[in-house]
């Protein structure tokens, strides 16, 4: 019985430590995945903003060209 009493806590540690490590790794991966999703969402929003800015700049460029043409026609 003494041998069994000494082995049981060791066996419990050999089972508990890997389970604890797996839980820690799982939580770390889950947090990293959440951060990656948040970064991806921010990048998508930034891309939409940049597309809007590009389209506005193109519209402004067209208006500038029209104004320049009007000014050259007036002269």
Q: Quick one: which H or E segment has residue 1?
A: none
Q: What is the pLDDT of residues 14-23, one digit of tens each?
A: 899 999 999 9
* Mean of all residue pLDDT scores within the chain: 92
pTM: 0.62
C-alpha to C-alpha distance for 67 and 61, rounded to whole angstroms: 10
Measured on CA atoms in the order 43, 47, 52, 54, is the torsion positive or negative? positive
Evaluate if residue 2 carries a pLDDT over 80: no
Please report, in angstroms and rounded to a whole number, the separation of the first and last CA atoms in the chain: 111
Measure the CA angle with vertex 38, ends 35 and 40; round to 5°. Answer: 110
The values of phi and psi at residue 13, to 5°, are -65, -40
């Amino acid at each position: 019985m003494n041998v069994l009493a000494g082995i049981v806590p060791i066996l419990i540690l050999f089972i508990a430590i890997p389970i604890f490590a797996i839980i820690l790794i799982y939580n770390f991966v889950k947090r990293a995945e959440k951060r990656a999703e948040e970064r991806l969402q921010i990048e998508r929003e930034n891309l939409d903003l940049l597309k809007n800015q590009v389209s506005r700049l193109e519209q402004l460029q067209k208006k500038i060209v029209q104004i320049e043409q009007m000014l050259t026609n007036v002269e």
